[in-house]
């Protein structure tokens, strides 16, 4: 068994869609980024790459590469799984936390789990997603951005 950890953060920006776990969520702002800025999937990719001993998302999908401009991060997750599988590894389970003051995440979590479980090739029961606020403190609390953390277990 191999475990990996991932963390990512993106700032809110006007004129962008908010995409988390491959789900477009109605909100007055989205997240700034070179790709679709799906902070949850980026943390997940880093956890998977970490567990596989294969570096990080920036090494495989650099944000200086025009090929990844506005890319759907579910495609990055698919490519990450190709790398994981090339090492003869499969996902046992993943657990993630979204840190955001707003919007409410719970209505969208089932769809996020469906998207992720489909790409990882595991049942939704093996994809746990949680959300918490930051109780008004720090950059999360000031609604400047959203962070996500994730652990992945491979076998």
Closer to Mg ion by CB, 55 or 110: give it.
Answer: 55
**Residue numbers at the binding site for Mg ion (CB under 5 A):** 8, 42
Closer to Mg ion by CB, 16 or 92: give it.
Answer: 16
Closer to Mg ion by CB, 70 or 155: give it.
Answer: 70
Q: How near is the Cβ of 5 to Mg ion at its closest, in Å?
A: 15
Q: How near is the Cβ of 150 to Mg ion at its closest, in Å?
A: 12
Q: Do residues 98 and 130 touch, judged by C-beta distance below 8 A?
A: yes
Q: How near is the Cβ of 148 to Mg ion at its closest, in Å?
A: 9
Q: How near is the Cβ of 88 to Mg ion at its closest, in Å?
A: 27
Please tell me the number of Cα atoms within 13 Å of 48 on its side-chain side.
Answer: 31
Q: Are strands 23-25 and 91-99 parallel, antiparallel or unpaired?
A: unpaired
Closer to Mg ion by CB, 42 or 108: give it.
Answer: 42
With CB atoms as reference, the residue minimizing the distance to Mg ion is: 42
């Amino acid at each position: 068994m191999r475990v990996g950890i991932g963390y990512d953060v993106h700032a809110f920006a006007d004129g962008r869609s908010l995409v988390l776990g491959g789900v477009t969520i109605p909100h007055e702002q989205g997240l700034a980024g070179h790709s679709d800025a799906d902070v949850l999937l980026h943390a997940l990719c880093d956890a998977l790459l970490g567990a596989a001993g294969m570096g990080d998302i920036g090494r495989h999908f650099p944000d200086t590469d025009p090929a990844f401009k506005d890319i759907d991060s579910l495609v990055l997750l698919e490519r990450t799984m190709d790398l994981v599988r090339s090492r003869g590894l499969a996902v046992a389970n993943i657990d993630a936390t979204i840190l955001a003051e707003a919007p409410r995440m719970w209505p969208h979590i089932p769809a996020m789990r469906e998207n992720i479980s489909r790409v990882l090739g595991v049942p939704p029961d093996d994809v746990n997603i949680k959300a918490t606020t930051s109780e008004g403190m720090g950059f999360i609390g000031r609604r400047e951005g959203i962070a996500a953390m994730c652990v992945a277990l491979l076998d």
